[in-house]
Amino acid sequence: MDSSTPFPRNSFRQIVIAAHPQVPEAFAEAQRIAEFLHRHGIEAFADYLYSEELRRRVQEKQADLLIALGGDGTMLRAGHLCAHVGVPILGINMGHFGFLIEVERRDWENALRRLLLGEAWIEERMMLEAHLCRGDDVLHRWDVVNEVVVSRGRLMRPIQVTAHVDDLLLARYVADGLIAATPTGSTAYALAAGGPILPPELRNILLVPVAPHLSVDRAVVLSEGSEVVLTVRVQHEAVVSVDGHEPVELQTDDRIHVRANKSSLKFVRFQERGYFYRNLTTYMNWNPTVEKESRVRG
C-alpha cells in the first residue's frame, strides 16, 4: 500500500515552528529557524507548542506545515494538533530519542533548503479513534496516535478484558492491561510489552496483552478496517489512557470502542521510501542506559 505523496516545490507559504517548553534551547532554535525561513520569503511563526496563538493558527489552517522541535513526545502532541486539519509535520530532534523524528538538530538548515526545493514527500500514518461508553452514553472520545491502554490501577491485581472484533468474540484476557495500538504505536509501549513491529504504512490495529495471567499471551494483528470493543470487568480500580495522557477511571461493563480514524498523521520525509527498515536496527540497538554507562566507563 502506497501511503506517500510527493511534495511540489514552493508548497509552503506559512509555517509554524513549535518548541516543546520543557526541552532546553528548543525555543531559541525555533527562532533561528523562523529567521532562516523569513530570509527565504516564507512567513514563519515560532512559539511554544502549547501557546494559544500557535494552536489557533494551526486549527484555522493558517499553516501549511508545522515544524516540531523536541522528541517523540513532541511529535505525538503535534500529531494531535495537526492531524484533523491535515497539516503535515516535520520533526527536528532536540531530545534523546526520535523514532518519529526526521531531522537531527545539526542538519535542519540543509533539510529546510531541500524542503523549499521540493525534495521531500509526505508519509501518511493511520490514527485511531476511541470512545468510552457506559450504558448508552459516550463519556469520552479520543484521537489516538500511538495506543489505547486499558490497565489496572494502583492495586497489583489483574483486570478482566473481553475483546470483540467486528461483533465476534476474539478473546477474554486476564492481565495487567491490554494495548490497542496503531502501527506507529507498535514501536512504543506495545513493543515494550512484547508485541511485533508493524511497518508504518499498514492500517491494522494491534492488540497486545500486558503481563497476562493464565490467559491469551500473544499479540494479535487485526484485519484492516476492523473495529474492536474492549469490555472491562473489575472489582477494583481500572483505567484507560490514550497516548500516555491522564488516565480515566473505568467501571465494570464499561466499553472502549476502537477503530481507524478518518484523519491521518502526515509526516514530512526526505529519506527514501524504505527508510523504516534501514533505521530499524539502529534504533533497536540503541539503549540510552547502556550508552550512558559506556560514556562513564570511557
List pLDDT tens digits, range 146-192: 999 999 988 889 999 999 999 999 999 999 999 999 999 999 999 99
Same domain, 179 and 227: yes
Per residue in 10-53, pLDDT (tens digit) is: 678 899 999 999 888 999 999 999 999 999 999 999 999 999 99
Q: What is the pLDDT of residues 185-240, one digit of tens each?
A: 999 999 999 999 999 999 999 999 999 998 889 999 999 999 999 999 988 899 99
Neighbours of 233 (CB within 10 A): 16
pLDDT value of residue 148: 98
For residue 2, pLDDT over 80 is answered with no
Q: What is the pLDDT of residue 12?
A: 81
Q: What domain count does the chain have?
A: 2
Q: Active-site residue 72, yes or no?
A: yes
Domain with 175, as residue range(s), is: 127-262
80 and 97 belong to one structural domain? yes
Helix, strand or coil, per DSSP, at residue 292: helix
Q: Give the CATH number of the domain where residue 216 resides.
A: 2.60.200.30
Please say whether the beta carbons of 143 and 151 come within 8 A: no
Residues 179 and 68 in one domain: no
Query: 139 and 104 in one domain?
Result: no
Q: Is 116 exposed, middle or buried (0-12, 13-18, 19+ CB in 10 A)?
A: middle
Residue in 47, 72, 243, 254 annotated catalytic:
72
Judge whether 49 lies within some domain.
Answer: yes
Q: What is the mean pLDDT of residues 106-125?
A: 93
Kindly state whether residues 57 and 35 are assigned to the same domain: yes
pLDDT at 14 (0 to 100): 95
The mean pLDDT value for 70-81 works out to 93
| pLDDT band, very low/low/confident/very high, at 297 (cuts 50, 70, 90) | very low
Quote the pTM value. Answer: 0.88
pLDDT of 294 reads 43
pLDDT given at position 185: 95
Task: Judge if 103 and 50 occupy the same domain.
Answer: yes
Mean per-residue pLDDT over the chain, rounded: 90
Return the C-alpha torsion angle 203, 204, 205, 208, nearest 10: -130
